Amino acid sequence: MDIADDQIALWDVDFTRKAKKQADGLPSAVFETLALLKGELELEGPVQPEWHHYGKLVGKKGEYHHCHLNKGKPRYVAVWVVISNTVRVIEICYTGTHENVNYRQFK
């Protein structure tokens, strides 16, 4: 049985309340980049090796990933976690400056 392109299962990508509030305060160019990242997460899933400084956060109980949204200063990053691989749910849990991210908060 062949699956048509329009029947490919997409990932459900959402923001935590805090991340949504952080995203609303981003500069417009960084916000647009975040929107592109969200679209790629929906299509391709949580692993995004083509994004600048993409990496999986190690030593965490959950499956956390992050990447840089821009180059230069201040540097903005996004952090997301896979909530479920079976129903394909990703939650973006931080969007903001690299200087202010506290990676310890992601358990």
- The continuous run of DSSP H or E covering 40 comes out as helix 28-44
Return the beta strands (E) in 1-107 as ranges: 12-15, 55-56, 63-68, 76-84, 89-97
For residue range 54-105, what is the model confidence (pLDDT) as tens digits? 999 988 788 999 999 999 899 999 999 999 988 899 999 999 998 888 877 7
Two tokens, residue 102: 């506290």
Q: What is the pLDDT of residues 60-72, one digit of tens each?
A: 788 999 999 999 8
Confidence at 2, pLDDT banded by 50, 70, 90: very low
pLDDT score, position 7: 56
Say whether the peptide bond before residue 74 is cis (omega within 30 degrees of 0): yes
Q: Residue 1: what pLDDT?
A: 40
